[in-house]
Amino acid sequence: MASDQITIRLPDGSTRDVATGTTAGDLAAEIGRNLRKAAVIADVNGVERDLVWPLEQGDEVAIITNRDDRGLYTIRHSTAHVLAQAVLDLYPGATFGIGPPIEDGFYYDFELPDGGHFHEDDLPRIEARMREIMGERQPFIRDELLADEARRVFKDHKYKLEIIDDASTDPMSATESGLVRTYENPPRFIDLCRGPHVEDTSTHLGHFKLMRVAGAYWRGDEKNPQLQRIYGTAWASKADLDAHLKRLEEAAKRDHRKLGVELDLFSFPDEIGSGLAVFHPKGGLVRMLMEDYSRQRHVAAGYDFVNSPHISKQELFETSGHLDWFADGMFPPMELDEGQRYYLKPMNCPFHILIYRSRLRSYRELPLRLFEFGSVYRYEKSGVIHGLTRVRGMTQDDAHIFCSKEQMGDELGSLLTFVLDLLRDYGLDDFYLELSTKPEGKAVGSDEEWDEATEALRAAAMTKDLELVMDPGGGAFYGPKISVQARDAIGRTWQMSTIQLDFQEPQRFDLSYIGADNERHRPIMIHRALFGSIERFFAVLVEHYAGAFPAWLAPVQARVLPISEGHEAYATRLADRLRAEGFRADLVEANEPLGGRIRKAKLEKLPYILVVGDDDVEHGTVGVNARGSERPERDVPVDDFVERLRADVAARV
């Protein structure tokens, strides 16, 4: 090795000798032209660096390209800087907060002079300015300043000054040397930033779109002033950007709120109140089918069915702790003549506990599993209500399992199996698990109890071959929880089932059972809901299936269309036969052209459209137009179709 050379190591374990002073970008160029073109940043000894970073003897270097998530994040982050520059250009007196990359894009928070606001109409102008800045090919220049120098540079930007103050006192966010890092886009713009960034405002940027404006609290705290946030999406290529916009369109088409109207499933009449849904006949039928199957499975899994009222005296929720910890989420009380206060129930657990406590329990009864489709009411803040996924009145498929400490592990294991199995029957099969731990300051019980409960949940989760994600501080006030997250047909994740361990309420209600040793013992309580809420689960299914319910759930499974009046008698017999076989079939008479009737049935996303004409009357057959098929089938014997539909329903496809 010549003295003016250094040796660096590549990710594949090989080494390479390069000239002293070689930068990460130079290295990429030496390896290949395409790599240089795709290179965004480099990973040098485990730290992300700009491509102009000079390499040193012995460095381990990986070039990160625009195909890598980290490269993409850098592109988004750099785009956010360009956004900030554009806004500061266009709005004299504006100041800025932070602007990180996020999933699919980026945002930047601003404060406009005199409490001004952005409007959606402003976005094209800002976007145009961003493209001008990109055209100027301004380099991203990294620098490190002493805190005092940085304070001078950002003297007009109070939020930046706050960040500098934090950085100079917080050892984690200061650089090793105690300096504050900045990135400059000369000649006009400089920002506090850890970096890294793309080389200049032209390279890799440009495949972006500003999406929306929003208010956002400074540092996410609702006590802080609200800043003006601009969201954008940014990608490595035009094709990726277009694909993303197309995905959004597809998601909008599946929106359960839109499909709920189009398919006549449910509505939210203003007269009832925000977040309170009514289910129409078709939605009600789907819901009934969902519930019926769930009931059937719960019977098979050894659950007992109970019922409880929607309201209760205050004392119950004092004992349970809800009024201490959950009062904000409850509707205000109803005052009765004699001064008695009643509350709408926000949860079912206290009621099930009273059923448990209605008499002395023996260890022979455990585990005791009490199930109810229980309607609960929660006072959600007006701004958070969203379709069926966030409502003020909902029905949970709720059960509380009372068991001994010894039974807890097995019970949690079989419960998780049950949950995943049932969700699969509803067509969801891509899951991960999330473990939510103690919410500090908002929890009852000792650390030891929480640790023990959390460990029990973790142990049960580990027996499943699924990814486990931690959610620190996300537990309920009475105990930790595991939630099952499901990915739908277009890859979005939804929180579905929750399983919560509770050592608290059994104590508060002084629950006990008589053990084999003839002593009193405290049972463990497991709260669990598989759908979460029926309303939310219904919404998820609507979106997952884009409204095209599988035959077992479809409100109408088959529609019979006679070609002309002469075929109506045969068509009626066919529809009657299907109904007699237990299917949901209807018939639309021939008073408009066949094409129009077919179109309507297609828009209703029915699994099967059955067309009958002369041939069918003569041969006892049916024309079958199956949803999603290329072309209709002719001359299908009615018995064959009946078997086919029966098989679809049985297979839940």
Site string for RNA, 425-454 (x = CB under 7 A): --------------x---------------
Name which of 238 and 386 has its Cβ closer to RNA: 386
Q: How far is CA 32 from the centre of its chain?
A: 40
- Write the interaction track for RNA spanning residues 482-511; mark x where CB under 7 A is met and - where it is not: -x-----------x--x-------------
Binding residue (CB under 7 A) for RNA from 391, 420, 456, 546? 391
**Quick check: is 398 catalytic?**
yes
341 assigned to active site: no
Retrieve residue 564's tokens: 């002309």
**Beta-carbon contacts of residue 409 (< 8 Å; ≥ 6 apart):** 456, 459, 460
Q: Which of 220, 339, 441, 491 binds RNA (CB under 7 A)?
A: 220
Smaller CB separation from RNA, 185 or 389: 389
Using CB under 7 A as the binding rule, whether residue 291 contacts RNA is answered as no
Angle at 618 between CA 614 and CA 622, to 5 degrees: 70
Cα–chain-centroid distance for residue 512?
38
Catalytic residue among 157, 204, 229, 378: 378
Q: Is 591 in the site for RNA (CB under 7 A)?
A: yes
The region of 64-72, 181-189, 291-299, 380-388 touching RNA under the rule CB under 7 A is 380-388
Q: Is residue 396 annotated as a catalytic residue, yes or no?
A: yes
CB of 611 to RNA, least distance (A): 3
Q: Quick one: CA torsion of 254, 257, 262, 268, rounded to 10 degrees?
A: 170
Nearest approach, Cβ of residue 486 and RNA (Å):
11
**Smallest gap, in angstroms, from Cβ of residue 439 to RNA?**
7
**Site residues for RNA, window 549-588 (CB under 7 A)?**
563-566
CA-based nearest residue to 180, from 190, 596, 380: 190
Judged by CB under 7 A, the stretch of 15-23, 151-159, 332-340, 628-636 that binds RNA is 628-636
Q: How far is the CB of 634 from RNA (least distance, A)?
A: 5
Contacts of 92 (CB under 8 A, 6+ apart): 113
Q: How far is the CB of 589 from RNA (least distance, A)?
A: 8
Q: Between residue 97 and residue 156, which ones bind RNA under the rule CB under 7 A?
A: 117, 119-120
The CB-of-457 to RNA minimum distance in angstroms stands at 15
For RNA, give the closer residue by CB, 264 or 365: 264
Please give the Cα distance from 183 to 195 (Å, whole number).
7
- 327 forms part of the interface with RNA (CB under 7 A): no
Residue ranges in 56-85 that form contacts with RNA under rule CB under 7 A: none
Binding mask 600-619 toward RNA (x if CB under 7 A, else -) reads --xx-----x-xxxxxx---
Footprint of RNA on residues 189-218 (CB under 7 A)?
A: 212-217
Pick from 127, 380, 430, 452 the residue near RNA by CB under 7 A: 380
**CB of residue 610 to RNA, shortest distance in Å:** 8
Residue 139 vs 550, nearer CB to RNA: 550
Cβ neighbors of 367 (< 8 A, separation 6 or more) are: 401, 402, 403, 404, 407, 411
**DSSP 3-state of 288:** helix
Return the number of the residue (164 or 394) whose C-beta is nearest RNA: 394
The whole-angstrom separation of Cα 96 and Cα 144 is 20
4, 69, 270, 465: residue in contact with RNA (rule CB under 7 A):
270
Q: Which of 229, 298, 527, 528 is catalytic?
A: 527
The residue among 467 and 510 lying less far from RNA, judged by its C-beta, is: 467
- Angstrom CA distances, 487 to 272, 457, 491, 543, 562, stand at 32, 22, 5, 11, 41
- The single residue among 56, 447, 592, 643 that binds RNA, judged by CB under 7 A, is 592
Q: Is 240 a catalytic residue?
A: no
If you ran DSSP here, which 8-state letter would residue 392 be given?
S
Question: Which residue, chain included where needed, has tokens 């075929």?
Answer: 567
Q: Which two tokens stand for residue 56?
A: 């040193």
Helix axes 638-651, 568-580, angle to 10 degrees: 40
Q: Which of 112, 118, 106 is nearest to 209 (CA)?
A: 106
* 199 contacts: CB under 8 Å, gap ≥ 6: 25, 50, 51, 52, 139, 140
Q: How far is the CB of 537 from RNA (least distance, A)?
A: 8
CA distances to 193, 312, 432, 464 from 467, in Å: 33, 40, 5, 9
Torsion on CA atoms 18, 19, 22, 28, rounded to nearest 10: -30
CA distance to 9, 55, 133, per residue, from 33 (Å): 19, 19, 26
Using the minimum distance from each CB to RNA, give the nearer residue, 198 or 626. 626
Active site residue 378: yes
Give rounded-to-5 percent helix, strand, coil for the chain.
40, 25, 35
According to the binding rule CB under 7 A, does residue 320 interact with RNA?
A: no
Is residue 472 a contact point for RNA (CB under 7 A)? no
From candidates 287, 369, 392, 521, binder to RNA by CB under 7 A: 392
- Residue listed under structure tokens 């299917």: 583
* 630 binds RNA per the rule CB under 7 A: no
Of 262 and 639, the one with the shorter C-beta distance to RNA is 262
* Alpha helix segments (H runs only) across 527-587: 534-544, 568-580
Site for RNA in 271-290 (CB under 7 A): 273-275
Range in contact with RNA (rule: CB under 7 A) among 11-19, 200-208, 359-367, 593-601: 593-601
Q: Which residues are catalytic?
A: 349, 378, 396, 398, 400, 481, 527
